[in-house]
């Protein structure tokens, strides 16, 4: 077990807060970006922020503001959860608190992970014992659609990172959708999450090492781009390239044989994707045509096909089978 210490610093002192985040390693909320699963930021953007090439100033927008305002409300409602959203109402009206939580102040450092820092929303307390970490997410109905296939990977990486830092085997995500719909999703450390934790440590160590090397290169007026993360297949990296580089209209580059092979490969894959998309839609339409008004097509122990109406009355198609 590592030595756990606390750094008492908050957003109230914004310059010091930004300086700490920039120079103390990788925060749990940044791990998804390092792992390439954050749809809103690519790893190369985070890299440029950490080395000072991009501005790291945080501009608070309405979703961020409302998230901060709603967080303590959601944390309080979570105390009354005993399995279903309806249980919150029943327990709240009866004054029956199921569990407690508290907000940790500042940042936590763990000597086992010197390149990381941790700041979960809440610590879970049961019978006066800290049992896990709680992460709260206030999301819109539009964003909630992304949860239909499961919890976004970036949020799972964030929660597992907190579990590592606090050395807890239990964590929970508590999303509130549109300020009305609440859920609690528990996670317990198993082989899959431990493997994810090992990946987090390996990737963040490598990323932070490259950041430090790039800073030294900048200080020595050397090439720092050699330490930048390689391109990945994320939409965030695609969007970064579109924002970063404009068409200057008159600059033609000559490609290499390797790049030519990449273009051939891209063309073949794109053609294959079109074929798979048609076949995928065909199978989905055949299943829907058979199901008609039925929301579930059951295969017993092998799983189900769902075509169920959401809270807005729109039917959503999904498959959850073993194969």
| DSSP secondary structure string for all residues of 167-205 | T-SEEEEEEEETTTEE--EEEE--HHHHHHHHHHHHHHH
What pTM was computed for the model? Answer: 0.80
The pLDDT assigned to 149 comes to 64
Placement of tokens 């200080």 in the chain: 219
Q: What angle do CA 165, 168, 169 make, to 5 degrees?
A: 130
The position carrying tokens 């579930």 is 296
Residue 199: exposure state from Cβ atoms within 10 A (0-12, 13-18, ≥19) = middle
* Phi, psi of 112, deg, nearest 5: -75, -20
Mean pLDDT, the chain, rounded, equals 90
Residue 148's pLDDT band, with cuts at 50, 70 and 90, is low
Which DSSP symbol is given to 118?
B
What is the pLDDT averaged over residues 249-264? 87
Domain boundaries, the chain: 4-203, 256-321
* CATH 3.90.320.10 is right for the domain spanning 4-203: yes
Tell which wins on pLDDT, 142 or 115.
Answer: 115
Q: Is 76 in a helix, a strand, or coil?
A: helix
- Judged against a pLDDT cut of 70, whether residue 143 lies above it is answered with no
Beta pairing partners, 26: 116
**Rounded distance, CA 120 to CA 172, Å?**
11
pLDDT of residue 158: 97
Q: Shortest CA distance to 138 belongs to which of 65, 54, 190?
A: 65
Residue 214 burial (CB count, 10 A): 23
**H or E element: which one contains 46?**
helix 43-50
Contact 165, 108 (CB under 8 A): yes
Task: Say how many C-beta atoms besides its own lie within 10 A of residue 165's C-beta.
Answer: 24
CA-based end-to-end distance of the chain? 39
pLDDT surpasses 90 at 117: yes
Which of 58-62, 199-203, 291-295 is predicted least confidently?
58-62
Q: Residue 161 CB: number of other CB atoms within 10 A? A: 30
Contact 321/302 with Cβ under 8 angstroms? yes
Both tokens assigned to 192 = 């899959």
Residue 304 in this model has a pLDDT that exceeds 80: yes
Q: Are 77 and 70 in contact (CB under 8 A)?
A: no
**pLDDT tier at 240, thresholds 50, 70, 90:** confident
pLDDT for residue 276 is more than 80 = yes
Provide the pLDDT for residue 64: 80
| Residue 108 predicted with pLDDT over 80 | yes
| DSSP-assigned letters across all residues of 211-276 | HHHHHHHHHTT---GGGSPPP-S-HHHHHHHHHH----SS--PPPPHHHHHHHHHHHHHHHHHHHH
CA distances (Å), origin 186, targets 138, 270, 290: 17, 39, 35
pLDDT of 292 higher than 90: yes
């Amino acid at each position: 077990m590592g030595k756990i210490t606390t750094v008492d610093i908050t957003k109230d002192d914004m310059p010091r807060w930004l300086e700490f985040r920039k120079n103390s390693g990788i925060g749990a909320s940044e791990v998804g970006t390092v792992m390439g699963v954050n749809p809103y930021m690519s790893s190369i953007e985070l890299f440029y922020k950490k080395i000072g090439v991009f501005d790291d100033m945080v501009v608070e927008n309405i979703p961020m503001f409302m998230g901060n305002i709603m967080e303590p409300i959601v944390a309080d409602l979570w105390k009354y959860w005993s399995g279903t959203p309806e249980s919150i109402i029943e327990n709240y009206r009866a004054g029956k608190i199921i569990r407690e939580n508290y907000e940790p102040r500042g940042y936590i450092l763990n000597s086992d992970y010197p390149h990381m820092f941790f700041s979960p929303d809440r610590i879970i307390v049961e019978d006066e014992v800290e049992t896990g970490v709680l992460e709260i997410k206030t999301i819109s109905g539009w964003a909630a659609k992304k949860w239909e296939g499961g919890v976004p990977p970036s949020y799972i990486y964030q929660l597992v990172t907190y579990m590592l830092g606090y050395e807890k085997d239990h964590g929970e995500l508590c999303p509130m959708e549109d300020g009305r719909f609440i859920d609690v999703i528990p996670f317990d450390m198993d082989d899959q999450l431990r493997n994810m934790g090992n990946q987090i440590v390996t990737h963040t160590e490598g990323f932070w090492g490259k950041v430090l090397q790039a800073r030294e290169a900048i200080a020595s007026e050397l090439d720092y781009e050699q330490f930048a993360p390689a391109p990945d297949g994320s939409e965030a990296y695609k969007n970064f390239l579109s924002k970063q580089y404009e068409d200057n209209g008159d600059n033609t580059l000559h490609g290499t044989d390797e790049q030519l092979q990449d273009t051939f490969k891209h063309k073949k894959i794109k053609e294959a994707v079109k074929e798979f998309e048609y076949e995928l839609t065909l199978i989905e339409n055949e299943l829907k045509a058979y199901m008609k008004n039925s929301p579930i097509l059951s295969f017993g122990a092998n799983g189900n096909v769902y075509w169920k109406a959401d809270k807005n009355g729109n039917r959503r198609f999904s498959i959850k089978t073993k194969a």
